[in-house]
Chains A and B, each alone.
Chain A
Amino acid sequence: MKKMLLTGVLLALSGAGAVKVGVLLPLSGSGSVSGQAARNGYLLALDEINRAGGVLGKPLELEFADDGSSPAKAVPEFVKLVTVDKVDFMAGGVSSATSIAISGPAKQYGTFMAWIGAAAVPVEDAFADHKYFFHYHPWSYYNFEAILGYFKTLKTQKKARNIAIAYEDGPFGSAGINDTVAAFKKAGFNVVMTEKFKTGSGNFGPIISKAKAARPDIFYWVGYDTDALPLATEIKQQNLQVGLVYGTPPSWPVGFEKNQLADNIAGLSLWLPSSPQAESRKFVAAYRKKFGNVTEEYFAPLAYVNLKTLAAAINGAGGTDKDKVAAALAATNTPTPFGPLTFSKSNKTQYQGFKAGNWLHFQFQGDSRVPVYPIKFAQKPMVWNK
């Protein structure tokens, strides 16, 4: 305790010239759930970093800015962090549209970007030639790669052949849907239904009727959290006989796991509080100690990992020279709540962190999300309803 106090006092006294990291997040607007979760992750990491001596012998400082989930707000906020607050590094970034909007100023100022979100491929295009862009979240094509890999396993183990697809007609559901169908077919699946729906409409009657007639082994839906309960209700009411219902909403409805209708519905996440890795357990314990609860939003641990690795790279570089920090961060090889983190090339960018292999597949069983694949992380066998 004395040692901690002494460290704190020394750090406070040496505050001048501290390393400043700007954090641009959607703290309001449509992306605010992920943004607020990420903020907690950063605050937790900040506590730990400064308790352990800070960065370069000085306390690390965070300067948060709210991009409002809007490009028109993100651009001035980014420029303010870089030119007024004079941050040394930038972290954060959830929305793809806002990330692209700041790619111009980022290149203009040569800003160092340790970025946690923004999975859309156009972001990859926008930052392809930026030499200080480190992307932690898997690109969207890695997400589908993970899903396809899981379904191929089901094809082998459960003889799953027929897939029915329901997708929302906005960008989230529709983006690359033709490629999705083509990839399933190429992998030897029969796509027996492809139906779009209006998210939030709550009317899944016709789609489930059609799915019943098509007799799929897997019902795959791409929509938002608001669609989860009406869809589950309709599946129950019409007694759709299907091996697996698999959904990929960005987040699930609060308390969905407590609803019996959720039983056996499966999905995808980068992380779950029940993830078995030691780093995950440490994160959960530290998070509970600081905030008094546990989050299921993976942007919290992702932000935590983001700041911890950036701080380690700055310390490793022995200064804030961007090239040296980039070299140190590029050499990262550390355990995280998502599994080991290393950076390697993606299709277009130089430094990509997590990839398809970091995704977990879970199933709602009982009152919680249970990891069921990859097998090495599975805590219970998957329930196949056929």
Chain B
Amino acid sequence: MSRAAELPRTVTRRPDFTGRALVPLALFFLLALAFPFLPLGARAEYLLQIAFFTVVAGVLALSWDILARSGQVSLAHAAFYGLGAYGFALLVKVMPWFLAMPLAALIAALLSLILGAVTMRLSGMYFAIATLAFTEVVRTIIQNLPESVAGGANGLLVPALLGGNARAQYFLAVAVLLLTALVSLAVRFTRLHHAFAAIRQGEETARVLGVSIVRYKLLAFFISSFLAALGGVLFAGKTFFINPLETFSLANSIAPLTTSIFGGLYTTLGPILGATVLRVAEEILHNSIKNGYLVVYGLVLMLSILWLPRGLMGLLRKGKHGGDL
């Protein structure tokens, strides 16, 4: 059976795509690339650091969203993020960083196939619990490797990416976000979109319609974890240090989820916007309400999700055709 024949006629038609839909995304990346050159005065270096972590948050959120499009609400993102970080820390000892980075992500992506295969029949909260358990298993394994290999519970020092040059690190992070956005668009505007959407809306129906559930679910896992692992590499190379407890923390699985929901699920621009708005809002609150800023931040996030069920993208797309970015 050809790949085209796997999908029903009604959904094999490619989604509407117009160059105009790319304008906001292109503007975002232009601004992101221009950011270090803006006349920001004394605050420039500080804002560059914030921008770096915002971009990494965007990578994680968007990579999580790509998996979610196939109906798999994963809590294992911390595992792939951590595997990327640890893989990079170990590989960069024996090869240049530009090889260690993709190889670490590839290893994480290949390992994600194990999780994908194991959880194939699970859905809903059972799937979420299984992915959560996977993160714990990976953390335990890493922690119990010989200390000479992975640092054990103490953690590992990681060589600085690009010699610690903050501007170069930022551009590298933007490049990874751009790659993530391009992959997201590729998923959005090819038949993968229909396959993922069909699986999300009902596996039995999708199967009857000829969609290879196994293939597409594993593909979603592979793509998502590869990109999340790149995010882990960026983080590790920036903070110079990783340890099992913090790297595989549940927070690293929850943050991409909430960011995607806040920005707008199943879109490319949504998770990126979500990461930008949330990180900037958090920083402003952090600087203006020294004590208890997290309470305000949590309330704002909660109310936003309640009032904006389709996230920020729901606001932007109001009254428009929904088949854009």
- B155: which A residues are within 8 A, CB to CB? 97, 120, 122, 171
Contacts of B156 in A (CB 8 A): 122
Q: Tell whether, in the assembled complex, residue A72 and residue B46 are in contact, meaning their CB atoms are under 8 Å apart.
A: no
Interface of A is mostly: helix
Q: Does B286 contact A (CB under 8 A)?
A: yes
What chain B residues lie within 8 Å of A125 (beta carbons)? 157
Q: What A residues does B140 contact at CB under 8 A?
A: 169
Smallest CB gap from A78: residue in B? B49
* Contact A108 B164, beta carbon cutoff 8 Å: yes
Chain B residues whose C-beta falls within 8 Å of the C-beta of A335 in the assembled complex: none
User: B53–A104 contact, CB under 8 A?
Assistant: no
Question: What does the 1/0 interface line of A54-65 toward B look like (CB < 8 Å)?
Answer: 000000000010
CB of A101 closer than 8 Å to a CB of B? yes
Asked if A122 meets B154 with Cβ closer than 8 Å, knowing A80-B46, A84-B42, the reply is: yes
Q: Find out whether the CB atom of B294 lies under 8 angstroms from the CB atom of A28.
A: yes
Pick the contact of B245: A76, A103, A108, A170 (CB < 8 A).
Answer: A170
Report if B226 contacts A (CB, 8 A).
Answer: no
CB of A239 within 8 Å of the partner chain = no
Decide if B241 touches A101 in the complex (CB within 8 Å).
yes
- Number of B positions contacting A (CB below 8 A): 37
Q: Which residues of chain A are near B241, meaning CB under 8 Å?
A: 71, 96-97, 100-101, 122, 126
CB–CB A100/B43 < 8 A: no
- Would you call A183 an interface residue if the criterion is a C-beta within 8 Å of the partner chain's C-beta atoms? no
Of B96-104, B111-119, B209-217, B232-240, the segment with at least 4 beta carbons within 8 Å of chain A is B232-240
Smallest distance from the beta carbon of A30 to chain B beta carbons, Å? 9
B residues apposed to A, CB below 8 Å = 42-46, 49-50, 53, 56, 140, 143, 147, 151-157, 160, 164, 166, 235, 238-241, 243-246, 283, 286, 290-291, 293-294
Name A residues whose Cβ lies closer than 8 Å to a Cβ of B.
Answer: 27-28, 64, 66, 68, 71-73, 75-76, 79-80, 83-84, 86, 96-97, 100-101, 103-105, 107-108, 120-122, 125-126, 169-176, 178
Q: Which residues of B contact A100 (CB under 8 A)?
A: 157, 239-241
Closest to B246 in A: A97
Do residues A76 and B50 form an inter-chain contact, with CB atoms below 8 A? yes
- Chain A residues, CB < 8 A from B290: 27, 64, 66
Judging by beta carbons under 8 Å apart, are A72 and B154 in contact? no
Contacts of B43 in A (CB 8 A): 80, 83-84
Residues of A close to B49: CB separation below 8 A = 75-76, 79
CB-CB under 8 A for A79 and B153, given A101-B239, A104-B160: no
Report the nearest A residue to B44, measured CB to CB. Answer: A83
B156 vs chain A, min Cβ distance (A)? 8
Q: Nearest 3 A-B pairs (CB), nearest first?
A: A171-B153, A100-B241, A101-B239
Given A83-B45, A175-B153, A175-B154, the answer on whether A72 and B235 have CB atoms closer than 8 Å is: yes
Bound-state CA distance A103–B164 (Å) is 10
Instruction: Collect the chain A residues with CB atoms within 8 Å of residue B246's CB.
Output: 71, 97
CB-CB < 8 A to B245: which residues of A? 170-171
Q: What residue in chain B is nearest A69 (Cβ atoms)?
A: B246
How near does chain B come to A166, taking the closest CB pair, in angstroms? Answer: 16
Task: From known contacts A75-B53, A76-B50, A83-B42, infer whether A120 and B154 are also in contact, taking CB-CB under 8 Å.
Answer: yes
Q: What is the chain B residue whose CB lies nearest that of A170?
A: B245
Check if A171 sits within 8 Å of B239, measured CB to CB: no
State in angstroms the CA–CA spacing of A175 and B150 once bound together: 12
Complex Cα–Cα for A79 and B45 (A): 7
Q: Please, which residue of chain A has its CB at the minimum distance from the CB of B50?
A: A76
Chain A residue with Cβ nearest B294: A28
Contact indicator A97/B153 (Cβ below 8 Å): no
Residues of B within 8 A of A173 (CB): 153
- Within the complex, the shortest CB–CB distance from A80 to chain B, in Å, comes to 4
A66 to B283, CA, bound (A): 11
Docked pose: A178 CA to B160 CA in angstroms: 30
Give the docked Cα–Cα distance between A130 and B246 (Å). 25
Of listed A72, A96, A178, residue having the most chain B CB within 10 A: A72
B283 (CB) vs chain A CBs: closest residue? A76
| Residues in chain B near residue A175, CB distance under 8 A | 152-154
A97 partner residues in chain B, CB cutoff 8 A: 155, 239, 241, 243, 246
Q: How far is the CA of A123 from the CA of B213 in the complex (A)?
A: 47
CA distance A178 to B152 in the complex (A): 11
Q: Known contacts A120-B154, A121-B154; decide if A76 and B46 are in contact (CB<8 Å).
A: yes
Q: In the complex where A72-B235, A170-B153 touch, is A28 in contact with B293 (Cβ < 8 A)? A: yes
Chain B positions within 8 Å of A172 at CB level: 153
The answer to whether A71 and B45 touch (CB under 8 A), given A64-B290, A122-B157, is: no
Indicate if the CB atoms of A27 and B291 lie closer than 8 Å.
yes
Given A72-B235, A171-B155, A176-B154, A126 contacting B240 (CB threshold 8 A): yes
Q: Which residues of B contact A174 (CB under 8 A)?
A: 143, 152-153
CA gap between A75 and B53 in the complex, in Å: 10
16 contacts between A and B (CB under 8 A): A27-B290, A66-B286, A73-B286, A75-B238, A76-B46, A79-B49, A83-B42, A83-B44, A97-B155, A100-B239, A104-B164, A120-B154, A122-B157, A126-B157, A171-B244, A171-B245
Residues of B within 8 A of A121 (CB): 154
**Nearest Cβ distance between residue B243 and chain A, in whole angstroms?**
6
Query: What is the bound-complex CA distance between A83 and B44, given in angstroms?
Result: 9
Cα A308 to Cα B166 with chains together (Å): 34
Q: How far is the CA of A107 from the CA of B164 in the complex (A)?
A: 10
Closest to B43 in A: A84
Residues of A within 8 A of B152 (CB): 174-176
Contacts of B143 in A (CB 8 A): 169, 171, 174
Can you add 9 more A-B contacts, CB < 8 Å, to A76-B283, A122-B155? Answer: A28-B293, A72-B53, A76-B53, A84-B43, A100-B239, A105-B166, A171-B155, A171-B244, A174-B152
CB-CB nearest in chain A for B49: A76
Give chain B nearest CB distance to A383 CB in angstroms: 33
From B46, B160, B243, B293, contact of A83 by CB (8 A):
B46
Q: Which residues of B contact A68 (CB under 8 A)?
A: 286
Question: How far is it, in angstroms, between the C-alpha of A104 and the C-alpha of B44 when the chains are bound?
Answer: 17
Complex contacts, A178 vs chain B, CB 8 Å:
147
Instruction: Report yes or no: A103 in contact with B240, Cβ–Cβ below 8 A.
Output: yes
**Are A171 and B53 in contact, with the CB atoms below 8 A?**
no
* Alpha-carbon gap, A172 to B245, bound state (A): 10
- Residues of B near A101 (CB, < 8 A) are 238-241
- Of all chain B residues, the one with the shortest Cβ separation from A100 is B241
